[in-house]
Amino acid sequence: MGLSRHRFDVNLSILFTELPLLRRPAAAAACGFTAVELWWPWPDDPIPERRRLDALRTALLDAGTRLVGLNLYAGQLPGPDRGALSIPGAPSDRFRANVDVAAEFAASVGCPALNALYGNRVPGVDPRVQDELALDNLCFAARTAAGIGAKLLIEPLNTVESPHYPLVSTEAAARTADRVNAVTGLDNAALLLDLYHVSMNGEDPHEAVDRWGARAGHVQIADVPGRGAPGTGRLDFPELFDRLAKAGHDGWVGLEYRPQGPSTEAFGWRDEPRFRAR
């Protein structure tokens, strides 16, 4: 059982950040990875100039790396914004404007999944108003994603680091994906199962994998506490990898942890006997 090495991808927005963006795909490839994912690379610019998109596409293709996940515009990450699509006014407008741009880019590199962060609660705004706006924007994004044959991922965060973010349980994010699918009829909205956020929320990651692993459109990992590589904290990743396989998850598992030193030295855990497929 377990997951084989080639099913791991690297999040280039948290690893290899010591390098300029356009050099990161090649650095990941040099470490043996064929797939990468990204938060929206330009947090201050939901509609970047064409030359910037073209340069990133070229960097991915020249490195031989496939982009398997791309966050839609969500403001500054990490930072106080934590999403935009449910925040009335300019943040929501920027999100909406970004969807077509991000989808077009994703289609050009064969990216199968777009990730939408829900957005923080805003003081003085009725949560029901935010939820209505969020559902409308998520449905818009799901329809756009379907147009390029992609999934729309909906991600819970954790209440410790994102206390104003309303989706702080796996079930809440899964229910939101179900509501989007019910409205659109497309069935392409799916849960992003991030085992770091699951554990930080106090959920049992083993139970979460057993319950939600088969429904997860994508999985991300980091150890707890500290958001480091597997083996730096308390999570039993060999067991979690086995459970993911048994649950039927056959998609990518994104490495979304902070390296303790140079990123090139952040993957040695994969060669430890306890982490090899069992």
Q: What is the CATH number of the domain that holds 228?
A: 3.20.20.150
Q: Which domain holds residue 232?
A: 5-275
Give DSSP secondary structure letters for 99-127. Answer: HHHHHHHHHHTT--EEEE-B----TTS-H
How far apart (Å, rounded) are the C-alpha atoms in residues 161 and 78?
Answer: 10
How far apart (Å, rounded) are the C-alpha atoms in residues 76 and 3?
Answer: 32
Among the options 37, 49, 104, 155, which is catalytic?
155
196: closest CA among 188, 185, 186, 208?
Answer: 208
Among the options 37, 49, 203, 256, which is catalytic?
256
How far apart (Å, rounded) are the C-alpha atoms in residues 91 and 74?
Answer: 8
Backbone angles phi, psi at 214, to 5 degrees: -70, -25
How far apart (Å, rounded) are the C-alpha atoms in residues 108 and 86?
Answer: 28
The pLDDT of residue 271 is 87
Q: Is 18 an annotated catalytic residue?
A: no
The pLDDT of residue 1 is 42
How far apart (Å, rounded) are the C-alpha atoms in residues 256 and 228?
Answer: 9
The pLDDT of residue 77 is 64
Is the sign of the CA dihedral 88, 90, 95, 97 positive or negative?
Answer: positive
Quickly tell me which residue has 């699918």 as its tokens.
Answer: 181
Domain count, the chain: 1
pTM: 0.94
Per-residue pLDDT of the chain (278 residues; tens, 9 = 90+): 444 544 899 999 999 999 999 999 999 999 999 999 999 999 999 999 999 999 999 999 999 999 999 999 998 765 555 689 999 999 999 999 999 999 999 999 999 999 999 999 999 999 999 999 999 999 999 999 999 999 999 999 999 999 999 999 999 999 999 999 999 999 999 999 999 999 999 999 999 999 999 999 999 999 999 999 999 999 999 999 999 999 999 889 999 999 999 999 999 998 888 876 55
Q: Is 207 an annotated catalytic residue?
A: no
The pLDDT of residue 76 is 72
